[in-house]
Amino acid sequence: MIEIDNLHKAYRSRSGAVTEVLKGISLRVPAGGITAIVGPSGAGKSTLAKCISLLEKPTRGSIRVNGQDLSLLTGEALRRERRAVGTVFQSSALLQRKTAWQNVALPLEYLGVVPHEIKQHVGALLESVGLSDKADRYPAQLSGGQRQRVGIARALALKPSVLLADEATSGLDPASTTAILQLLTQLRDTFGLSIILITHEMDVVRSAADAVAEIRDGRLVQQGQVRDLLAQPGSLLGDQLFPLRALDAAGDLLLQVTYGTHAPVATDWISRLSRQFNLHIDLLGGHVELIGDRQAGRMRIAVRFNEAPVAAQSLIQQLHQLGLSAELLGSAPAWQEAI
């Protein structure tokens, strides 16, 4: 696993001015977990990625991989322990005059691994990313998604326990992006990797991440499991993950409904609620997807009473029993006493 505690990074200009880019970042990524790091341009995501891979030395704070604090190491000890972190770059960063096989073999050749072990290991890595039949192709002969697969295989060559993917799907078409994310999830499960996804794409977070952390102005402003953030009322990150555009409509009650984390959601919850309380329910907007093995998302509904009014709290309690959370957004004046 990777543990980042109170990480700071500052740069000093030639004039002596100090600019602090990272301001006390603390983050945990368990073995077998995928954590996405998001934030606007200039927030510090790239600097954090460089610190995690030890391409940049933190000003203070610690980066522990499997209990070893890499930020305290120097020289040969640092070079040795850095092998625990594999990095996949946005552009794949392949050498254009070397084949896919040769690109994956580079880290092993640099370490002096004997040729027959290189041959065996590189063959297994290319097979794991689905490119055994492309081993002799040069980068120019591969698609963008295939080049990223080669980059992933190379990042795994030294058997790291942490894989850092820095905008690894940026610029890829949707089909290639989906394939790369499925591959990362598969590799996570196969090798028990801790994976950090640096990304600005919320589709990537929803598709692959177990947890997400948001950085703004060098600070970690919100983090948590994707499902938990979605269920938190007023979560800005939850709103970004599941943006909700809703129509305006008249109704006795206006509710925002969230697919909760406490139980699976009944697929017929709208019809159940309508029958139980004799309601007319208008769906004004929604965003629902599968996150892992459960549905997650948000909906906004307008409720109209066909007969006697129903207390809003009764509806909210029933929605909770159906696996949902609900928040009252508004009510018609005629029904204020029912709330």
* Domains of the chain, each with CATH number or no CATH: 2-231 (3.40.50.300), 243-338 (3.30.70.260)
Q: Would you say the C-alpha torsion 236, 237, 239, 240 has a positive or negative sign?
A: positive
User: How far apart, in whole angstroms, are the C-alpha atoms of residue 167 and residue 296?
Assistant: 25
pLDDT, one tens digit per residue, over 58-92 is: 999 999 888 888 888 888 888 888 888 898 887 77
**pLDDT of 336:** 42
- To 10 degrees, the CA torsion angle through 197, 198, 200, 205? 20
pTM of the model: 0.79
Question: Above 70 in pLDDT, residue 181?
Answer: yes
The pair of structure tokens assigned to 236 is: 């800005």
**Pairing label, strands 18-29, 2-12:** antiparallel
**pLDDT of 267:** 82
Mean pLDDT value across residues 204-218: 90
pLDDT, one tens digit per residue, over 147-172 is: 999 999 999 998 888 999 988 888 78
pLDDT, one tens digit per residue, over 9-40 is: 999 888 888 999 999 999 998 888 999 999 88
